[in-house]
Amino acid sequence: MGLSGGLDSIVLLHLLAALRQRRPFMLRAIHVHHGLSAHADEWAQFAVDRAASLGVACHIERVSLAPFLKQGIEGAAREARYEVFARQACDVLLLAQHRDDQAETVLLNLLRGSGLRGLAAMPEYRCLNEQVGILRPLLDISRAELAKYAAEQGLAWVEDESNLDSRYDRNFLRNEIFPALRTVWPSANATLARVAEHAAEADELLQELATADFALCVKEGVFDLSVDLSLLRLRNVLRFWLTQQGLQLDARAFEELIRIALFAAIDAQPALVWRDRAIRRYRQGLYITAARQAVFTDVPMSWQSEMRLASGVLAWREAAVGIDINRLQQGRLELRNRMGGESLRLRADGPRRSLKQLYQEAAVPPWLRLNTPLVYLDGALAAVPGLGIDAAFRAGDGQQAFAPHWLSG
């Protein structure tokens, strides 16, 4: 469990220690030392001593906020804490946020313009990573109830003086806004906590719909815009797809993506660059690529099953149609850039055709054409990943054949 030494976590520690006596389980505490207060060392020792008095080991983890300061002090402290939590070797990490914390989070996210996910605030349980889950068992309990329990049990806790500093957003809501709200709406905290529950249900429903639409729209990482969906469902599944790819666009960027996806000319090749990634449209497909495409340079190479280059990997896989392994190993192999005017004869009885025509027919996006190396063998174009093998270089019956596959990267 996370043990700051404040009221909430001290109550949770006390409850868990009592529960452990009735139903034994392994319990330990982690105290994250942010180093922000002159009293931080005292708080850390208090947490260790209080946990020890209940037979619980408490480890102190000192963190630096420097890597996260772009998010402000509050955000940096949170990121540093959760980075520590993610490293813990446990099945579940319990945190002591309560109903008042939930209400503050709902209002804070509302004022930031968050959608349903933000209004759902903190879930009672969520997976932090593949190993650790986070459980918040006190979310339905108010701070006043926790304070009453602590008084009845004679519990001591520390008070963080920074909680009184209303320059921080959350403290401003807690110290200035919520007291005023409760003079008119006494149950404001409970009401906002219910908003979080409703928003969580609605968001879960949207996620289920997005999962179903994702299966229809996304094939091999490409988003198919030709699937017949309403605009609302399209927006929903696009957000889902972007999240799966680790992209969180702000509202303005997302609206630009909608414009690119739906309203740009059909023969245009628009792109939305977001930090180090780009979302590119080609025909009726959306592709996510690096913002800056790696430049391929010509290079002679000895044949290997995987040929690693600065701009990607050329992998050779055994195939029914390919180049004889002996020819690959014994010939002079080169990987070259496309210069223009190259052609392939894909069938022995067929004509030579330009790479431009073949790329267009195969619907290969333009940026992949420029980034894909051409395979030359003994000075002649032998194969192009994604298009095929020139007929003059195809392996014969009984020969072990390999075909090239380009993994840009």
Contacts of 205 (CB under 8 A, 6+ apart): none
HSE-up of residue 187 (Cα within 13 Å, Cβ side): 4
- pLDDT score recorded for residue 201: 96
The CATH topology of domain 7-195 is Rossmann fold (3.40.50)
Count of residues making up the chain: 409
Q: What angle do CA 95, 96, 102 make, to 5 degrees?
A: 105
Structure letter (DSSP) for residue 295: P
Range(s) of the chain covered by CATH 1.20.59.20:
220-290
Range(s) of the chain covered by CATH 3.40.50.620:
7-195
The CATH topology of domain 220-290 is Chorismate Mutase Domain, subunit A (1.20.59)
Query: And the tokens for 151?
Result: 């008084």
How many of the other CB atoms lie within 10 Å of CB of 292? Answer: 9
Query: And the tokens for 156?
Result: 């001591």
Report the distance separating Cα 311 and Cα 74, nearest Å. 39
pLDDT in tens, 279-303: 999 989 999 988 887 666 677 888 8
pLDDT in tens, 248-265: 999 999 999 999 999 888
Report the distance separating Cα 313 and Cα 311, nearest Å. 7
pLDDT in tens, 105-160: 999 999 998 999 999 999 999 999 989 999 999 999 999 999 999 999 999 999 99
Residue with tokens 């959350």: 170
Phi, psi for 2 (deg, rounded to 5)? -80, 125
What are the CA-CA distances from residue 25 to residues 51, 101, 397 (Å)? 15, 28, 66
Determine the 3-state secondary structure of 336 from DSSP. Answer: strand
pLDDT in tens, 358-388: 999 998 888 888 888 999 999 999 999 999 9
Contacts of 390 (CB under 8 A, 6+ apart): 344, 345, 346, 380, 381, 382, 383
Which amino acid belongs to residue 119? L
- pLDDT score recorded for residue 312: 83
pLDDT in tens, 166-201: 998 999 999 999 999 999 999 999 999 999 999 999
- pLDDT score recorded for residue 296: 63
